[in-house]
Amino acid sequence: MEKGKLLYEGKAKKIYETDNPEQLIVHYKDDATAFDGKKKGKIKSKGKYNLEISNIFFMLLEDNDVKTHLIRQISETDLLVKKVNIIPIEVVLRNVAAGSLADRLGLEEGTELNRPILEYYYKSDELGDPLINRYHISERGLSTEGQLKLLDILGFKINNILKDYLEERDIKLIDFKLEFGVDSNDNILLADEISPDTCRFWDMKTDKKLDKDRFRRDLGGVVEAYQEILK
Ligand code: TMP
Ligand code: ASP
């Protein structure tokens, strides 16, 4: 499968057309950004690790009847996916207080939540991905009510599957972000990626951070953390 025209370049990935109008190639870059692109860097081999890690999660989810955009891997850093229109809502699931939730609610980072929290953010680089609720979504027509209900169900379901899978491997799933798209038959598919760029993973025993917070907070050992998650 040959790469066609570059359709879009994001902070961590490039999207190419293919000769099939229903399929795209996603190229994973080593570029890393944080704080809405204000902090920039490169993490050696991140593209390769994230693609592999994300594929493992997407295949696990497919096995549990979650439909995803995944078709097949075509090189170390290139993935063939079904073309979707991305719903401009980032769905964040949280099991433990960290990052912006800890700040917003005045909770100490690491506080176990009574039950998982689901949040929506408006996927807009221009606006800096603000936190939104269902009234904002309806006002801007970002999704239909029916789609939003499905995103909620899928969000909690995916959280349960990933949390259990990771717990068996001694990793705590603190929080993560999902993106969904709509295909040409109006199916909602999980899209984008699930990787240390888009999740917080802590070692179950030591609480060591094994995700992009090592880059965001200059903690060192970034590549090693991504390798550990892949292992
Ligand atoms: P936050 O605590 O900064 O709101 O992040 C919550 C989770 O969402 C965390 O696992 C990182 C992920 N995330 C992204 O993948 N992309 C983003 O742009 C943001 C802000 C968070
Ligand atoms: N906000 C995202 C993060 O910190 C990425 C970025 O802002 O460039 O994960």
Ligand 1 pocket, residue 123 CB under 6 Å: no
Which amino acid belongs to residue 204? M
Please give the distance, rounded to the nearest whole angstrom, from the Cα atom of residue 185 to the centre of ligand 2: 31
Please give the distance, rounded to the nearest whole angstrom, from the Cα atom of residue 138 to the centre of ligand 2: 25
* pTM over cut 0.95: yes
Shortest CA distance to 31 belongs to which of 16, 50, 17? 50
pLDDT value, residue 128: 94
Contact (Cβ atoms closer than 8 angstroms) between residue 18 and residue 25: yes
pLDDT value, residue 1: 80
Which amino acid belongs to residue 172? K
Interatomic CA distance for residues 89 and 120, integer angstroms: 6
Residue carrying structure tokens 């090189």: 75
Neighbours of 26 (CB within 10 A): 23
Secondary structure (H, E, C), the chain: CCCCCEEEECCCEEEEECCCCCEEEEEECCEEEECCCCEEEECCCHHHHHHHHHHHHHHHHHHCCCCECEEEECCCCEEEEECCEECCEEEEEEEECCHHHHHHHCCCCCCEEEEEEEEEEECCCCCCCCEECHHHHHHHCCCCHHHHHHHHHHHHHHHHHHHHHHHCCCEEEEEEEEEEEECCCCCEEEECCCCCCCEEEEECCCCCECCCHHHHCCCCCHHHHHHHHHC
Interatomic CA distance for residues 24 and 15, integer angstroms: 7
Biggest CA–CA distance in the chain, Å, is: 51
Q: pLDDT 10s digit of each residue in the chain, 231 long?
A: 889 999 999 999 999 999 999 999 999 999 999 998 999 999 999 999 999 999 999 999 999 999 999 999 999 999 999 999 999 999 999 999 999 999 999 999 999 999 999 999 999 999 999 999 999 999 999 999 999 999 999 999 999 999 999 999 999 999 999 999 999 999 999 999 999 999 999 999 999 999 999 999 999 999 999 999 999
pLDDT value, residue 165: 98
Give the closest ligand to the alpha carbon of residue 33.
2
Interatomic CA distance for residues 101 and 107, integer angstroms: 8
Query: Which residue's C-alpha comes closest to atom 5 of ligand 2?
Result: 34
Please give the distance, rounded to the nearest whole angstrom, from the Cα atom of residue 20 to the centre of ligand 2: 31
Query: Which residue's C-alpha comes closest to atom 9 of ligand 2?
Result: 34
Query: Which residues line ligand 2 at a C-beta cut-off of 6 Å?
Result: 11, 33-37, 212, 216
Question: Of ligand 1's atoms, which has the minimum distance to the CA of residue 200?
Answer: 10
